[in-house]
Structure 1
């Protein structure tokens, strides 16, 4: 998940904003701000196109950010809380009357600092999650391989015993067919397990945005 855009607005007037990627964020943000003001709720989550807009509404000031992942609501919420706390600690915001141009001087840099911080934390978390999931897959794969090897060892023992017990050509042919059937059964298991592991790794990589969708 990446926070790609953020802004602070007094009503519909954007006091400071920053976009990490190109796009018409300002136009969409204006629409979202209008919806936030109409709802007048402390927190809102609105999907616009391929981005999710999260807002925090405190005393007429809207803190807004856009992310590219609808599943993660914790990171944007923490980002907006940090931005609002920093903004409200600014002594100029408590002046009466409130002068936005003075209060948000250079606040674009603050937005940039927190966007980089929370995006980096998210990347680190995704990598850790990916490593953990890959380790789990490897463990499952190892267990399945061990089971296959155990089955193969039992098969070899069975083969040795059948070799000792072969007395006629007819019995030998029948046993070979049985062994071939058992071998194909285990071979199919190996193929199914391999495909399942590959699909699991691909799903993990897609869910953590290592492979872009």
Structure 2
């Protein structure tokens, strides 16, 4: 998940904004700001095109950000909370002084940029940790399956159905080995499928988090 755009608005008038990627956010942001004013709800999440717009509405000021993942609402919410806290802590950033032409408003772009980089970096680290955990789980599952197969084969060789007849024992052992080969091949195919699925997931997550540039 990446926060690609953020802004602060007084009503429908954007006071400060910043986009980390190319794209036309202003038209969508204007529509979202209008809907926020109509609804007057503290928080909203609105899908517009390929981006999801999250807003925090406090005392007539709207804090807005756009992300590329509809599933994650926690990160944008934390981002907006940090931005609003910074805004409200500074008396120079009050509604009375804050306007698009004010130098303080221009400087506040740096605040937006700092928090956008911070939360996007946290998401990258979280995604990498998740991938490592998934790879470890697959590795452990593969190891357990192989150990079970080897253990089963070893028991079959030591205890060939308790028969004293050598020829019968050999036949039973060969039959058991054939069954074990089929079981092993079945598990091997499952392991291959799981591994390919995990690799595809890793590639997709790395692409969506811009770890691998598109």
For residues 78-126 of structure 1, the C-alpha deviation after alignment (integer angstroms, 9 at most, x for no partner) is 100111111112212447x454243523111111011001111111111
Paired position in structure 1 for 2:192: 195
Paired position in structure 2 for 1:115: 116
TM-score, reference length from structure 1: 0.84
1:182 to 179, 182, 186: 179
Q: Contact (CA 8 Å) 1:162, 1:175: kept in 2 or not?
A: no
Q: Contact (CA 8 Å) 1:137, 1:197: kept in 2 or not?
A: yes
Structure 1 residue matching 2:106: 3-state secondary structure: coil
When Rg is computed on C-alpha atoms for both structures, the one with the higher figure is 1
Task: Give unpaired runs (5+ residues) of structure 2.
Answer: 210-214
TM-score, reference length from structure 2: 0.84
Paired position in structure 1 for 2:155: 154
Cα deviation, residue 29, structure 1: 0.7
Paired position in structure 2 for 1:80: 80
Paired position in structure 1 for 2:16: 16
Q: Contact (CA 8 Å) 2:87, 2:94: kept in 1 or not?
A: no
In the aligned structure 1, how far is the partner of 2:164 from the partner of 2:150? 21
Do residues 125 (structure 1) and 126 (structure 2) align? yes
Paired position in structure 2 for 1:6: 6
Q: Contact (CA 8 Å) 2:56, 2:63: kept in 1 or not?
A: yes
Q: Contact (CA 8 Å) 2:53, 2:64: kept in 1 or not?
A: yes
Cα deviation, residue 180, structure 1: 5.7
Q: Please, what is the CA RMSD of the aligned residues?
A: 2.8
Task: Give unpaired runs (5+ residues) of structure 1.
Answer: none
Cα deviation, residue 200, structure 1: 4.7
Number of equivalenced pairs: 207
Cα deviation, residue 178, structure 1: 2.5
In the aligned structure 2, how far is the partner of 1:15 from the partner of 1:89? 17
Cα deviation, residue 164, structure 1: 6.1
